[in-house]
Amino acid sequence: MKSTRKFSVVLLDIAFLFASIVIAVVLKANFERLFFLLENGLTFIILMLGLKLLMMKLLMLYDSLWEHASVDELIRITSFGILSHLLVALMDLYFESPFSYKSLLLISFFDVVLIGGFRLSYRVIRRLKNRAYTIGQNYKNILIIGAGRTGGMMARHLLSEPQRFGYPKAFIDDDPRKEGTLVNGIKVMGNRYDILSVVKRQRIDEIILAIPTVPMQDRKEILEECKRTGAKVKTVPSLEEMMIDNVDIKKIRDVEIEDLLGRDEITLNMEGIKDYLEGKIVLVTGGGGSIGSELCRQIVRFAPKKLIILDINENSVYDLTNELRSRGLGGVELDTVITSVRDRKELFRVFNDLRPQVVFHAAAHKHVPLMERSPREAIKNNVFGTLNLVDASINYGTERFVLISTDKAVNPTSVMGVSKRIAEMIVQSVESHKTVFTAVRFGNVLGSNGSVIPLFKKQIQEGGPVTVTHKDMVRYFMTIPEASRLMLQAGGLAKGGDVFVLDMGEPVRILNLAEDLIRLSGLEPHKDIEIKFTGLRLGEKLYEELLTSEESVESKTQHEKIFIGKPNKVEYPFLLKRLEMLKELVHGEDQEALLDMFESMVTSYQRDNRQINKAFLDNGCVVPSPEMQQWNVVMT
Give me the active site residues, please. 408
Question: What is the chain's percent helix, strand, coil content, to nearest 5?
Answer: 50, 15, 35
Q: Which residues pair with 141 in a beta bridge?
A: 167
**DSSP 8-state assignment for residue 257:** G
CB atoms within 10 A of CB 59: 17
Cα–Cα separations (whole angstroms), residue 151 to 106, 207, 211, 354, 606: 38, 12, 7, 51, 54
Q: How many Å apart are CA 446 and CA 130, to the nearest integer? A: 41
* Residues 6+ positions from 592 with CB-CB distance below 8 Å: none
Please compute, for residue 580, the number of CA atoms within 13 A of its CA located in the half-sphere on the CB side: 6
Tell me if 532 sits within 8 A of 460, measured CB to CB. no
Single-letter amino acid, residue 350: V
- What gap in Å lies between CA 600 and CA 604, rounded to an integer? 9
Query: Are 366 and 445 within 8 A, CB to CB?
Result: no
Peptide bond into 465 cis (omega under 30): yes
Rounded distance between C-alpha atoms, residue 615 and residue 398, angstroms: 44
User: What is the number of other CB atoms lying within 10 angstroms of the CB of residue 82?
Assistant: 11
Beta strands 206-209 and 141-145: pairing type? parallel
- CB contact at 8 A, 155 and 184: yes
Q: Report how far residue 241's alpha carbon sits from residue 257's, in angstroms, rounded to the nearest whole number.
A: 16
Closest CA to 445 of 485, 416, 417, 414: 485
CB atoms near residue 592 (< 10 Å): 8
**Number of CB atoms found within 10 A of residue 338's CB:** 14
Closest CA to 143 of 60, 199, 97, 105: 199
Give the 3-state DSSP-derived string for 425-455, with helices as H, strands as E and coil as C: HHHHHCCCCCCEEEEEEECEEECCCCCHHHH
d(CA 384, CA 386): 5
Q: 3-state secondary structure string, 65-105?
A: CHHHCCHHHHHHHHHHHHHHHHHHHHHCCCCCCCCCHHHHH
